[in-house]
Amino acid sequence: PPPSPPGPLADQSAKLVNDAAHPYQPLRPGDQRGPCPALNTLASHGYLPRNGVATPAQIVTAVQEGLNLENSFARFLTYSTFLVNGNPITNLMSIGDKTSGTGQDPPKPATVAGLDTHNNCEGDTSMTRADAFFGDNHSFNESRFQNFIKYSEKYGAGKYNYTVAAQLRKFLIQDSIQNNPQFSLVSPRLFTAFAESVFPINFFIDGRDTSGQLDLDVARSFFQNMTFPPNFFRRAGAVSNVGQNVVTDLLPNFKPGYNAHGVNTFTVDSTSATLTEPCLRYTNFVNKNIKQLYPNPTGVLKQALTINLQFLYEATVAANESCTQVFPYGH
């Protein structure tokens, strides 16, 4: 059976993470990188396997050790992503594209297609990756990064901060409504979109710097080059999505939804959990998203899914209020 996820770090102080034991190395043919600048960077420095194929426990350990992501949030992100995009039998997930490196697939409709998979965790309105409709949802996109720079200049005096994060998120949603006929922003992607807006501020600023202002060359180092800046220290003290309220405060009327009939036809999806409904997110994710991929698992597959769903529930409870556990495959 899959092993339990690691607990919090004993020592959560700021420290050098771009150290001699974790040198940057360029990609080799076949190595996987994908939509998440943090996981890409951790793999390129050897905090994750450099081939970009990792177990959930390795991912939790890496985001804690390398960036000081808070334990329950790390577990939540990891298991919700793993259940959709990873292989429950081999306990491996690609942080990029689908690969034979995750072993033999479980029966369809399971996909086991890595983090590049559109519309569960990866989704529209990313800051530095294009919407899937435009063809590539995972590679660094220079014109989107130029827009990131433009917003940082306009609202942050040349740095990326919470004010910029809010203005940029507002713009990206409007931009996708107006230009992407297949635009969608519903749960669970809805939650990652808002959290990711503040992640660069919370995790990509050197731990000795408490200004809350992310330098744009440092941003490029993570987003494009998958590299810690020279001498980079992780932040002091584990956190998750602190500051997200600044983003939601600018968008008080936003409701989850999608373009139903082409561009500029935004339609509210009343079945989607909203940002203030974490328990509905959990319940729908298990009963809809996971059940769809694994309608009738048996044997070791069923056992592995049940255990990973247990890990997801424990992380949900630790990160939010108490939600009622659901059991799609029985007790």
- Say how many Å lie between the first and final Cα of the chain, rounded: 16
Of 17, 43, 48, 69, the residue at the interface with ligand HEM (CB under 6 A) is: 69
**Shortest Å, Cβ 138 to ligand HEM:** 8
Q: How far apart are CA 311 and CA 74, in angstroms?
A: 12
Q: Which is nearer to ligand HEM, 195 or 301 (CB)?
A: 195
Query: Which residue from 154, 179, 146, 170 is spatially nearest to 264, judged by alpha carbons?
Result: 179
Query: Residue 198: which residues within 8 A CB-CB, separation 6 or more?
Result: 162, 165, 241, 242, 243, 244, 246, 247
**Shortest Å, Cβ 248 to ligand HEM:** 17
Site pattern 181..210 for ligand HEM (x: CB under 6 A): -----------x---x--xx--x-------
Q: Which of residues 37-66 bind ligand HEM (CB under 6 A)?
A: 37-39, 59, 63
Q: Cα–Cα–Cα angle for 27, 28, 30, nearest 5°?
A: 105
Q: Which of residues 122-181 bind Mg ion (CB under 5 A)?
A: 122, 126, 129
Partner from ligand HEM, Mg ion, none binding residue 40, C-beta < 5-8 Å depending on class: none
Both tokens assigned to 204: 């990509």
Residues touching ligand HEM, count (CB under 6 A): 26
**Shortest Å, Cβ 59 to ligand HEM:** 5
Partner from ligand HEM, Mg ion, none binding residue 63, C-beta < 5-8 Å depending on class: ligand HEM
Q: How far apart are CA 223 and CA 245, in angstroms?
A: 23
Residue with tokens 């530095």: 128
Q: How far apart are CA 45 and CA 79, in angstroms?
A: 23
Site stretch for ligand HEM (CB under 6 A), options 45-53, 73-81, 225-233, 243-251:
73-81
Both tokens assigned to 105: 């697939």
* 247: three-class secondary structure by DSSP: helix
Both tokens assigned to 155: 């609202």
Site pattern 129..158 for ligand HEM (x: CB under 6 A): x-----------------------------
**Shortest Å, Cβ 79 to ligand HEM:** 8
Q: Which is nearer to Mg ion, 122 or 215 (CB)?
A: 122
DSSP sequence for 30-52: T----S-HHHHHHHHTTSS-TTS
Both tokens assigned to 331: 């007790």
Q: How far apart are CA 321 and CA 209, in angstroms?
A: 32
| 122 is an interface residue for ligand HEM by CB under 6 A | yes
Helix, strand, coil fractions of the chain, as percent rounded to 5: 45, 5, 50
**Shortest Å, Cβ 254 to ligand HEM:** 17
Site stretch for ligand HEM (CB under 6 A), options 76-84, 258-266, 294-302, 306-314:
76-84
Which residues would be at the binding site for Mg ion (CB under 5 A)? Answer: 122, 126, 129
Which residues would be at the binding site for ligand HEM (CB under 6 A)? Answer: 35-39, 59, 63, 67, 69, 74, 77-78, 81, 115, 121-123, 126-129, 192, 196, 199-200, 203
